[in-house]
């Protein structure tokens, strides 16, 4: 199997070196770009497996890079942002980024994010028009519109079921509050955000009751992710 090729987009030489050293010692191939234009060019010419993208670039906003790449490719993009760029991070996820890392991040965290993205890719490739979804003891039967835990039907409201399907469709990926409320109610008012929190809380109670298994992870201020078990 080919080693995955990672495009590292980062103008800060120190962070870039940390990332490329980590990639090199963990069996990844990589190429680098220090600004948005060369990142877009490298993405189209070299077709990397995953893009690691810093949001603060000298020539353009990282979110613009995502928009440009998304106009022709679904290649996974993991955003790297400073803590002060929280709203940019959300804009990046809404623009189609798959995941994010907040600076400063550890090498272990970087590798974990890469593994999550690779697992999600593998799951997508295996999921060609399947009528069911399995994850741990959870089974969704799309045809019947039902979810089961260990074979026992879970009583879900229509909104909870929709939320579960959205999270399952992008298992391993962080979905923002805006994305979810838009998918469910077609809007993202403050009241929708509040409803989302309520429905997500009841869904989690139904899925995670009586067990230590965690299916849904909360990203405070950002959104939710279904963990791949
Ligand atoms: Ca930067």
pLDDT tens for 179-195 read: 999 999 988 888 889 99
Is residue 128 very low, low, confident or very high in pLDDT (cuts 50, 70, 90)?
Answer: low
Q: How many whole angstroms from 43 Cα to the centroid of ligand 1?
A: 18
Q: How many whole angstroms from 84 Cα to the centroid of ligand 1?
A: 12
Q: How many whole angstroms from 55 Cα to the centroid of ligand 1?
A: 6
Is residue 206 very low, low, confident or very high in pLDDT (cuts 50, 70, 90)?
Answer: very high
Average confidence score pLDDT of the chain:
92
> Averaged over 100-123, what is the pLDDT?
90
* Burial (CB count within 10 angstroms: exposed 0-12, middle 13-18, buried 19+), residue 108: exposed
Round to whole Å and give the CA distance between 216 and 227: 6
Domain boundaries, the chain: 5-125, 130-226
Q: How many whole angstroms from 170 Cα to the centroid of ligand 1?
A: 28
So what CATH class is 130-226?
mainly alpha
Is residue 119 very low, low, confident or very high in pLDDT (cuts 50, 70, 90)?
Answer: confident
Q: How many whole angstroms from 65 Cα to the centroid of ligand 1?
A: 13
Q: Shortest CA distance to 79 belongs to which of 151, 180, 90, 142?
A: 90
Q: How many whole angstroms from 155 Cα to the centroid of ligand 1?
A: 47
Task: Enter the pTM of the model.
Answer: 0.81
**CATH code of the domain made up of 5-125:** 3.40.50.2300
């Amino acid at each position: 199997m080919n080693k995955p090729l990672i495009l590292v987009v980062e103008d800060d030489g120190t962070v870039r070196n940390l990332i490329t050293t980590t990639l090199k010692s963990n069996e990844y191939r990589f190429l680098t770009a220090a600004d948005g234009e060369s990142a877009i060019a490298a993405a189209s010419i070299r077709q990397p497996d995953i893009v690691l993208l810093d949001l603060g670039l000298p020539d353009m906003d990282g979110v613009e890079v995502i928009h440009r790449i998304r106009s022709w490719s679904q290649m996974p993009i993991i955003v790297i942002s400073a803590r002060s760029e929280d709203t940019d991070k959300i804009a990046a996820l809404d623009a189609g980024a798959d995941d994010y890392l907040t600076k400063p991040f550890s090498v272990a965290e970087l590798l974990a994010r890469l593994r999550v993205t690779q697992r999600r890719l593998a799951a997508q490739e295996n999921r060609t028009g399947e009528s069911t979804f399995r994850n741990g003891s959870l089974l969704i039967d799309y045809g019947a519109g039902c979810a089961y835990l260990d074979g026992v039907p879970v009583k879900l409201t229509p909104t909870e079921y929709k939320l579960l399907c959205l999270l399952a469709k992008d298992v391993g990926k962080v979905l923002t509050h805006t994305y979810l409320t838009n998918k469910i109610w077609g809007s993202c008012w403050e009241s929708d955000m509040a409803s989302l929190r309520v429905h997500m809380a009841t869904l989690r109670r139904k899925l995670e009751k009586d067990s230590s298994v965690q299916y849904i992870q909360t990203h405070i201020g950002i959104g939710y992710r279904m963990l791949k078990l």
